[in-house]
Amino acid sequence: MDQEEGLKALDNIVTQFNTYEDFLDSQITTVDLYYLEDETLARQLVELGYRGTGERVKREDFEARKAAIEIARLAERAQQKTLTSAGKDLQDNFLMALATREEDNRSGKLSLNQQETDAAHTLKKQLASVIFIRDRNSHGQEISGYIDYAHRLKTEDFEVYFTGKKRLLPRPTDISFYNWDADIAVCNSSPNYQVIADNPEGLLFRYKRDRKILNVDPKAQPGDNSTRIPIPTELYIQAVIFDHISRRKT
């Protein structure tokens, strides 16, 4: 039995029995108890591999795997509680797009499938999305702006957006904000992005971790390791998500 098969077999045993003693008891036959007349001794013989009806599992291996599975379970539950999009009935494309990116932007780590993991195991990948929204505010004024998604996730509760109680709109505190009616333009660097507002060709953002430039001009390429994805939505006049993936050797 190879290592992977052995781990699967151990996982099956660990999930089947609550304690190591329960596992040992499952290996003891009525004949063993009849001749030994001592349950503790019977357990010891199974643990040592002298008796038993199945595969021998060491106590330290059982308990270590049991603890690892429990830690993973608790971590998954904590993550589900952290993700404000979890369990929500999302109907609009924009909210669904935000939901698929929430975990990666919140944790700062990019989720990889197995093929990507095998091909890039020496690289640490991080996702940092920028959201562009153009719509009207509560006063009927047309506004637009760019939102550092990861930063917003850390500074406010997105529950109200994923439940539809409020709409996500750009603010003067975001990395870029423009009120078209009042002709008010504001730019702010965030923990993730540095704003380059004096570029003659248009607004640029520099991702601080890898120093790569994100170009948000729809007529230009977004930059290295970046993508521009227009989102068809009924919630806004226009919505676009820029995904930037940074790669650093580990």
Phi, psi torsion values for 23, nearest 5 degrees: -65, -45
pLDDT of residue 70: 80
Could you give the CA distance from residue 73 to residue 164 in angstroms, rounded to a whole number?
30
Q: Which of 177, 154, 145, 144 is nearest to 102 (CA)?
A: 154
Could you give the CA distance from residue 108 to residue 171 in angstroms, rounded to a whole number?
23
pLDDT in tens, 132-141: 999 999 999 9
Task: Give Cα 25 to chain centroid, integer Å.
Answer: 40
The residues spanned by each domain of the chain are 1-80, 93-247
pLDDT of residue 6: 62
User: To the nearest 10°, the Cα dihedral for 97, 103, 243, 171?
Assistant: 80
**pTM of structure:** 0.65
- State the average pLDDT over residues 178-190: 96
pLDDT in tens, 188-240: 999 999 999 888 878 999 999 999 999 999 999 999 999 999 999 999 999 99
Asked if 96 and 147 count as a contact pair (C-beta separation under 8 A), the reply is no
pLDDT in tens, 51-99: 655 677 777 878 888 888 887 776 666 555 578 998 899 999 999 999 9
